[in-house]
Amino acid sequence: AASGRTQIADHPLALAPVSAPASSVDGFVREFLKNLNFTQGVPLSASSPNDRYLALAHTVRDYLMARWLEDQRGQREAQSKGVAYLSAEYLLGRQLDNNLLASRLTDVATEALAKCGIDIDDLRQQEVEPGLGNGGLGRLAACFIDSLATMSVPSIGYGIRYEYGIFRQTFVDGQQVEQPDAWLSLGSPWEFPHPEAAQTISFAGHTETYDDDGVERSRWIPAWNVQAVPYNYMVPGYHNGRVNTLRLWRSVATNAFDLRIFNSGDYEEAVRAQIFAENISKVLYPEDSTPQGKELRLQQQYFFVAASIRDFLTNVLAEDFDLEKLPERIIFQLNDTHPVIAVPEFMRVLVDEKKMDWDAAWAITQQCFAYTCHTLLPEALEVWSVDLLGRLLPRHLEIIYRINDEFLLAVRERFGDDEMRIRNMSIVSDFPERSVRMAYLATVAGAKVNGVAELHSQLLRDKVLPDFNEFYPGKFTNVTNGVTPRRFIRLANPQLADLITEALGAGWTVDLERLRGLESFAEDPEFRARFAEVKAANKRTLNTVLLARDGLSVPDGHMLDVMVKRLHEYKRQMLKVLHIVTSYEGIISGRVDVKDVTPRTFIFGAKAAPGYVMAKRIIHLINAVGSVVNADPRVEGRLNVVFPPNYNVTLAERVIPAADLSEQISLAGKEASGTGNMKFALNGALTIGTDDGANVEIRELVGDDNFFLFGMTEPEVEALWAEGYRPSEFYQKDEDLRRAIDLIASGAFSGGDRTTFEPVVSNLLYDDRFMVLADYASYIAEQGKVDAAYGDQDAWTRSAILNVARSGYFSSDRSMRDYIQRIWHTPPAY
């Protein structure tokens, strides 16, 4: 098959470089109409908004295409070391606006569409965001690939093309109800499927040994397989012409599978096989923090990493590549433990398929992987039962056992037969059931292990994995998270972006430390007035958006106090609820004069994992408190609770720029980093927060005067636990707290029914794992200081400007530079 392919490729027309369409308004109009006619198959006069959105998306693609092809070629030819970011989640957010911004097409496209009588904003609204992630971890991956493209780092993102992303949240009588997220149903203009490049991914079966010319080797005889079809997405860098690739895998049934069943004449069975295979990439697991150990999830994990490794080895490396040199060409970054099964898969490929000697293969593997941990909660550390692993991936389990045996041997050599230590460090644990600790496997295999904020990395070293830190000095490091200023300042807050550019000139978007230059502007009354006007305008915009989206409103002149993040007990939305109830109770009991209360609107955004009962109760409570407070004329115009359902990236881009106060109130030592905290600071909100995660670094940078600190420190939390924490004692001795809890318990927010929120109340009084009651008094006191500070609007604005000026460190570009320096050692460009 000296294919038609080669002949076509040799044709002079095919040899000419691909060129982008003309970047003029008329050129754009032509391309847009062409796409409308030839891709959508409709004339402008009969087109639907969705047709027009898809045609616009295709047009933007066409502009990016030449550079994409060029960059893929360049990266192939340069043969330099690259990063493969392995992540089960990418919480991308809408693509259209980002791609217009990156390619400098926003103005041209806006004008071109206006010429066709179309408001581009209407088309923006058409896009359903790809919600292929749960929260911080998935959004971080999206920020990182944006920065890698903007910095021209040779890299690729690998993940899963879920057919259904994170569920759509609705509220029925204040309670969360989940709906499937059919994000692909109106078309998917940003993806490029390549079914012809599918990989076969195998599962289950058994292993055997065989004699290979006098060498005993193992091989895996799998029982079934599926096809992994790559879907490519463009990842354009900002104003640098670079276009990187995100490759997400979709599972489909294999032909062989189909054919065998087809030949047996069993049509129904053939269809069933199809459904079975497609199940693997069907839906994102909506868990936050606690992994469930479900078989399908392990299938997802192996499916995407096996396909990604094979993709790299066969499509990126030359056929005669010397595998000993792999560490000079690739580093696989493991985004949490979800892709860690890549480690034994890589070993299997090297040892079983490439027939490499075990020790050589292991030495290479240990240089080709690095692991990022995103948690401190012990229950969040993923483990797989040996039983399940052995059934689904029998050869991988053998490999894990051997890795563990050799590792423990080395530990014995170093520390002697310290059985307790051996038990604690073993990758395979025996209790409560025999299982594989994926974080340990990642730590043993990884060249580096990093936490995601200074405090987190330190606790990881000292508390979570201290034995490993002792055994592998120098392996542990920190890379503090960051966020992309493209999406979270330029796109989300264009007026602030313009104001900054006016003050500092262009260039700050890719060199965010330059925001420092705003410090002197904080002292300029005129600049402060303009900054305040941007904030006010963002609030008005948010009001318009919420009204249209949910029929909700944000009153003029209110302080916007915002808590948006997944609903989890450790994040302590309950503390926020207690604050609201305390303020409310103070007014209705007559102890506080309503005229003395700073008008505040409390905005929540939070999804609960569908199986997390307590989290769902707290959502119900927030809605219940909101209904009562919002309807009570006694607090009218002072307290207002707004909880739009289905918080997502698109809504974040509206809420964050409008916020005055950022709530980052997790129990110290529980939030690994947080990234929302960074987005708020960069948009000029002041933080009220504990000394946790990246809050610590935010406070150090913005200064104590521009940050509201409260609560116990991590060592204080430890000490209180050690001494024996009894939440009811805090309830007994704090009158405000007692009144707030009693009001909830009385049924005041549940139509007089005392049972509805009884579990929430009992949990606080008798368990309170995350010490809400212990931090309550300190939180309420600090909120008093917030009110006082807000009373001086000009001083508040000055602080807000200083928050922006001093948060440049939190650009994900800086995170990428840290990864490159401390972990990847990749060249700056291909």
Question: Looking at 128-136, 386-394, 679-687, 731-739, which segment touches ligand F58 (CB under 6 A)?
Answer: 128-136
CA distance 319 to 328: 16
Counting contacts by CB under 6 A, is residue 140 touching ligand F58?
Answer: yes
Question: Looking at 134-142, 238-246, 413-421, 776-784, which segment touches ligand F58 (CB under 6 A)?
Answer: 134-142
One residue of 75, 152, 254, 289 binding ligand F58 per CB under 6 A: 289
- 661, containing H or E segment: strand 661-664
Contacts of 526 (CB under 8 A, 6+ apart): none
CA distance 697 to 704: 11
Within residues 185-224, the interface with ligand F58 by CB under 6 A covers none
| In the complex, minimum distance from the CB of residue 191 to ligand F58, in angstroms, rounded to a whole number | 23
Q: Which of 161, 242, 396, 566 is catalytic?
A: 566
Of 787, 808, 801, which is closest to residue 532 (Cα–Cα)? Answer: 801
Q: What is the side-by-side strand order in the sheet with 686-689?
A: 639-642, 600-605, 559-564, 661-664, 686-689, 707-709
Q: Which of 67, 247, 565, 654 is catalytic?
A: 565
Which is nearer to ligand F58, 134 or 683 (by Cβ)? Answer: 134
* Token couple for 485: 């200023």
DSSP state, residue 561: E
| In the complex, minimum distance from the CB of residue 664 to ligand F58, in angstroms, rounded to a whole number | 10
Which is nearer to ligand F58, 481 or 799 (by Cβ)? Answer: 481
Counting contacts by CB under 6 A, is residue 258 touching ligand F58?
Answer: no
Contact (Cβ atoms closer than 8 angstroms) between residue 661 and residue 685? yes
DSSP state, residue 668: T
One residue of 191, 288, 311, 714 binding ligand F58 per CB under 6 A: 288
- 366, containing H or E segment: helix 358-368
One residue of 47, 95, 481, 803 binding ligand F58 per CB under 6 A: 481
Q: Which of 675, 690, 756, 797 is catalytic?
A: 675
Which is nearer to ligand F58, 375 or 538 (by Cβ)? Answer: 375
Q: Can you list the pairs that 533-542 forms with residues at least 24 positions away whose Cβ atoms lie under 8 Å?
A: 534/493, 534/495, 534/496, 534/499, 535/657, 535/658, 535/660, 535/684, 535/797, 535/800, 537/495, 538/493, 538/495, 538/496, 538/657, 538/658, 539/658, 541/654, 541/658, 542/654, 542/655, 542/657, 542/658
Question: Looking at 105-113, 209-217, 287-295, 750-758, which segment touches ligand F58 (CB under 6 A)?
Answer: 287-295
Which is nearer to ligand F58, 455 or 760 (by Cβ)? Answer: 455
Q: Which residue is nearest to ligand F58 (CB)?
A: 136
| In the complex, minimum distance from the CB of residue 49 to ligand F58, in angstroms, rounded to a whole number | 33
Please report the beta strands in 51-180, taking only residues with DSSP state E, as ranges in sequence order: 82-86, 90-91, 131-132, 155-160, 168-172, 175-179
Which is nearer to ligand F58, 227 or 673 (by Cβ)? Answer: 673
| In the complex, minimum distance from the CB of residue 203 to ligand F58, in angstroms, rounded to a whole number | 21
Q: Which of 247, 374, 461, 568 is catalytic?
A: 374
Counting contacts by CB under 6 A, is residue 137 touching ligand F58?
Answer: yes
Contact (Cβ atoms closer than 8 angstroms) between residue 775 and residue 575? yes
Question: Looking at 55-63, 75-83, 131-139, 315-323, which segment touches ligand F58 (CB under 6 A)?
Answer: 131-139
CA distance 152 to 130: 24
- Pairing status of strand 215-221 against strand 206-212: antiparallel
Counting contacts by CB under 6 A, is residue 178 touching ligand F58?
Answer: no
Which amino acid appears at position 717 of this protein?
V
One residue of 70, 111, 269, 287 binding ligand F58 per CB under 6 A: 287
Contact (Cβ atoms closer than 8 angstroms) between residue 460 and residue 414? no
Which is nearer to ligand F58, 189 or 676 (by Cβ)? Answer: 676
Counting contacts by CB under 6 A, is residue 165 touching ligand F58?
Answer: no
Of 61, 42, 133, which is closest to residue 99 (Cα–Cα)? Answer: 61
Site string for ligand F58, 338-377 (x = CB under 6 A): ------------------------------------xx--
Question: Looking at 132-140, 344-352, 426-434, 600-608, which segment touches ligand F58 (CB under 6 A)?
Answer: 132-140
One residue of 47, 134, 176, 484 binding ligand F58 per CB under 6 A: 134
| In the complex, minimum distance from the CB of residue 336 to ligand F58, in angstroms, rounded to a whole number | 7
H helices of 460-572, in order, are 466-471, 485, 494-504, 518-521, 525-550
Q: Is the peptide bond before 828 cis (omega within 30 degrees of 0)?
A: no
Residue 374 bears catalytic tag = yes
Site string for ligand F58, 378-397 (x = CB under 6 A): --x-----------------
CA distance 458 to 542: 39
Q: Which of 348, 558, 568, 571 is catalytic?
A: 571
Within residues 290-319, the interface with ligand F58 by CB under 6 A covers 291
Site string for ligand F58, 683-702 (x = CB under 6 A): ----------x---------
Counting contacts by CB under 6 A, is residue 136 touching ligand F58?
Answer: yes
Torsion sign over Cα 71, 72, 77, 82 = positive
| In the complex, minimum distance from the CB of residue 89 to ligand F58, in angstroms, rounded to a whole number | 6
Q: Helices 573-588 and 613-631 sit at what angle, rounded to 10 degrees? A: 30
Contact (Cβ atoms closer than 8 angstroms) between residue 745 and residue 736? no
Contacts of 695 (CB under 8 A, 6+ apart): 664, 671, 674, 677, 687, 689
Which is nearer to ligand F58, 399 or 672 (by Cβ)? Answer: 672
Report helix, strand and coil shares of the chain as percent, to nearest 5. 55, 15, 30
Q: Which of 679, 699, 798, 814 is catalytic?
A: 679
* Token couple for 414: 């170093």
What distances in angstroms separate CA 254 from CA 161, 248, 271, 280, one per listed residue? 17, 18, 12, 13
CA distance 169 to 131: 12
| In the complex, minimum distance from the CB of residue 291 to ligand F58, in angstroms, rounded to a whole number | 5
Residue 566 bears catalytic tag = yes
Size of the site for ligand F58 (CB under 6 A): 20
Site string for ligand F58, 439-478 (x = CB under 6 A): -------------x--------------------------
CA distance 591 to 585: 8
Question: Looking at 61-69, 123-131, 185-193, 283-291, which segment touches ligand F58 (CB under 6 A)?
Answer: 283-291
For tokens 């049972």, the residue is 755
| In the complex, minimum distance from the CB of residue 307 to ligand F58, in angstroms, rounded to a whole number | 20
Which is nearer to ligand F58, 300 or 598 (by Cβ)? Answer: 300
Counting contacts by CB under 6 A, is residue 674 touching ligand F58?
Answer: yes
One residue of 675, 750, 756, 826 binding ligand F58 per CB under 6 A: 675
| In the complex, minimum distance from the CB of residue 439 to ligand F58, in angstroms, rounded to a whole number | 12
Name the site residues for ligand F58 (rule: CB under 6 A). 134-137, 140, 287-289, 291, 374-375, 380, 452, 481, 671-675, 693
Catalytic residues: 374, 565-566, 571, 675, 679
